Amino acid sequence: MRIVFMGTPDFAVPSLQKLLETHQVCGVYTQPDKPKGRKQILTPPPVKEIALQAGIPVFQPASLRNEAVVEEIRNLRPDCIVVVAYGKLLPKAVLDIPPKGCINVHGSLLPQYRGAAPIQWAVINGDTVSGVTTMFMGEGLDTGDILLKSETEILPGETAGELFDRLAPMGAELLLRTLEELEKGTLQPIPQKEEEATYAPMLTKESAKISWENTAVKLYHQILGLNPWPIAYTIYQGQMFKIYSAAVSDRKESAAPGSLRQVGKKMFVCCKENTWLELLEVQSQGGKRMSAEAFLQGHAIAPDAMFETSH
């Protein structure tokens, strides 16, 4: 099949690579290059790099709601458009172009976690199962008919980044199965049950701030789900303090939420209901990411030390 591929981040790369091996990719649409890092160097999306290496034409329109862009896609004559974490909704004019429809690979078991950050929210919420879904695309946000699903256990202690790395190739394999059945005419689309739908809104740096008025278990999952971005943080001595990893502790002590304790080479913080987290990997503002033990070597914790508790 002639396929136009639309995708942007690392999650989309395995799907594009599989398509390059098995189908005729006639064009790749991805988000515009963005400045990154302290030097704000203009950097292409991962999908663009793969497409250019394969000699595939790359398009980076600011919007698909433009008649010239729609005509450009139409001229590529795709049998099917495949969308994987593209980051833009497709208008009806684009959805109507391919005779075999538009297929999306989504990083959740729909209708759960429609939206921009399904993998992160599954981890944040402490789910034990995640997966990928292929679906026919409609005009709504991840509302189209479900085609195939593949699920996997969320492993104990698994970060959102680690789950991303496992779901991306799963999504690619599921996409190939979906396209095979599409060509055979054996797909059986299933409408989503709206009453079961949940949403996974985009994460921001601001949404990563920890409220210690939550239990240690809830905050443990939040820290996992915000790794590798935007990274959970709190305020310590008036400055940002990032927490990359932690563990739920069986420590027994009554204290106010946000209270810090140093016990030997270990660092603990009190959460709601006198539950405790042991901090394992941290980063003070302007400092390097390091183990809590290394941090304590240069920063003794005072007996009355607190993280900021206002949210």
Per-residue pLDDT reduced to its tens digit, 163-200: 999 999 999 999 999 999 999 999 999 999 999 999 99
Q: Output Rg (C-alpha) for the chain, integer angstroms.
A: 22
Domain termination site, one of 169, 196, 223: 196
User: Of 255, 249, 250, 281, which is closest to residue 270 (Cα–Cα)?
Assistant: 255
Residue type, 83: V
Range of the domain at 280: 206-298
Does 27 fall in a domain? yes
The pLDDT score that the predictor gives to residue 207 is: 87
Number of domains making up the chain: 2
For the segment 26-38, what is each residue's pLDDT rounded down to a tens digit?
Answer: 999 999 999 988 8
| pTM of structure | 0.95
Does 42 fall in a domain? yes
The pLDDT score that the predictor gives to residue 139 is: 87
Domain termination site, one of 196, 225, 242: 196
The pLDDT score that the predictor gives to residue 310 is: 65
What residues have CB less than 8 Å from 288, skipping those under 6 apart?
none
**Over 90: is that where the pLDDT of 75 sits?**
yes
What residues have CB less than 8 Å from 110, skipping those under 6 apart?
133, 135, 142, 146, 149, 192
Task: Kindly state whether residues 165 and 232 are assigned to the same domain.
Answer: no
Q: How far apart are CA 12 and CA 5, in angstroms?
A: 10
For the segment 217-245, what is each residue's pLDDT rounded down to a tens digit?
Answer: 999 999 999 999 999 999 999 999 999 99
Percent of the chain at pLDDT exceeding 90: 95
